Amino acid sequence: MNYYGDPITKLVGELARLPGIGAKSAQRLAFYLINQPLENVRELAESIVNAKENSRYCTVCCNLTDEDPCAVCSDTRRDQTTVMVVEDPRDMAAYERTGEYHGLYHVLHGAISPMNGIGPDELRIKELLTRMGNGAGPRPPVEEVIIATNPNVEGEATALYISRLLNPSGVLVTRIAHGVPVGSDLEYVDEVTLSRALEGRRRMG
């Protein structure tokens, strides 16, 4: 039965499609929005549309950005010889908050997970390999690739796969140390733990 009318029911249904939002949470959010001033709701809606329309992938590191190349890749003050490979843009942001890493990044947008139908071709691994093979031009060649995928089964499988692809190239491939708790996501790890994991990285292969 439609208790609230079509507009609210549709809003609840759309909110429930968001990750981590169940039916009750969606209902609570819907009523919260309905009770907000119209201008606040309009600003929220416009910001969502604006983010969707103006976000793109950086052609260098594959991070989400509104400019290409992104602010990190275009910053000449960063160490151009080190690239950290992360699963998600949020992981990149987590390391940036530590203030301890000053190199470049490469964002995979996921991890290898056969159970979920995610293989190497669904990730930005080809772009990473192309990037590693391009040592010409003004950008110095990459000397070290730090694999900072999450310390879970999928992250470890992805790290091993990438290291096997990169080792023949002669580039130093390292893995962040397990100061990061196994089974956790980098997005939720504190800055001190991330810094220690970065300092204790090890060579792979």
Angle in degrees, CA 188, 194, 198, rounded to 5: 150
> Could you tell me the residue ranges of all domains in the chain?
6-54, 58-203
Token readout for 108 is: 């995979």
* Helix ranges (DSSP H) in 3-152: 6-16, 23-34, 38-54, 89-98, 125-132
pTM, to two decimals: 0.79
6-54: in CATH 3.20.20.70: no
What's the whole-number average pLDDT of the chain? 89
State the amino acid at position 170 in one-letter form.
Answer: G
pLDDT in tens, 140-173: 688 999 999 998 889 989 999 999 999 888 899 9
User: 58-203: which CATH topology?
Assistant: Dna Topoisomerase Vi A Subunit; Chain: A, domain 2 (3.40.1360)
The CA-to-CA distance between both ends of the chain, in Å, stands at 60
Rama region for 179: left / alpha / beta (φ>0; ψ in -120 to 50; rest): alpha
